[in-house]
Structure 1
């Protein structure tokens, strides 16, 4: 797992320009941008969980509607009516269905976070993404070894 030069190493074996540190960018800045990128990745994952919550809650409500119809067809009208009026279409939180929760998260947290991360990259690194990870890859891969290429073949 040595990051040292292996047989066949050439300058073209390194990262592309989009993943190369601009001249004068300090190690500390690259590390800070890497941590900011890591934080954004966590926000992206949280957003994915939120969309999963949205989809599962909607799926549950639709299945509940089907259960109400089946209960009614089975002769349990009072129970079906009670479930229909108390649970079908119910808000997930006060005043909101899950699509409203997702929209609020997107508008008030996700989008501003994503914009702030991009602004920091634009200001400090010419918009380059994943510099910390690209440098980690260069350090950890075995140069010249199969399946350790810096980038896809052209």
Structure 2
């Protein structure tokens, strides 16, 4: 681990970490100094934490037909909108607007965790997550990631697991 990150299990006070503490799921916190000029949040986390980008997962809020759906996929991939729509039983999908995503989840873009969202939404996790013992997801703010077992993430979000990512 580089000196720009720290791994601990200290309570950092986001809704995502509070959920993990309440349920008692094992996890690690990885914090780093976020550069406000960076817009590729997942790539920044991967680089600053020294973790392969296919093990760092981003959280997107997607409109599938009339539903809002949380998609979780590696930062090294692009979301396959048709695959997500199909996995959710819909026909068309597009990225929700920033204001709508932030209002719905209670998190800022770049710090959107799939855990502890203001309003829960159906969730789809890319099946590549199951290739790893542990993955990283946003901890609920920019510069904060949570490392946990993908099966725990599935349990906590009641996620459907499907192939929704395609290589970038």
TM-score with structure 2 setting the length: 0.20
Task: Flag the structure with more relative contact order, 1 or 2, with Cα contacts below 8 A and sequence separation at least 6.
Answer: 1
Name the one with the larger strand percent: 2
Rg larger in 1 or in 2?
1
Name the one with the larger helix percent: 1
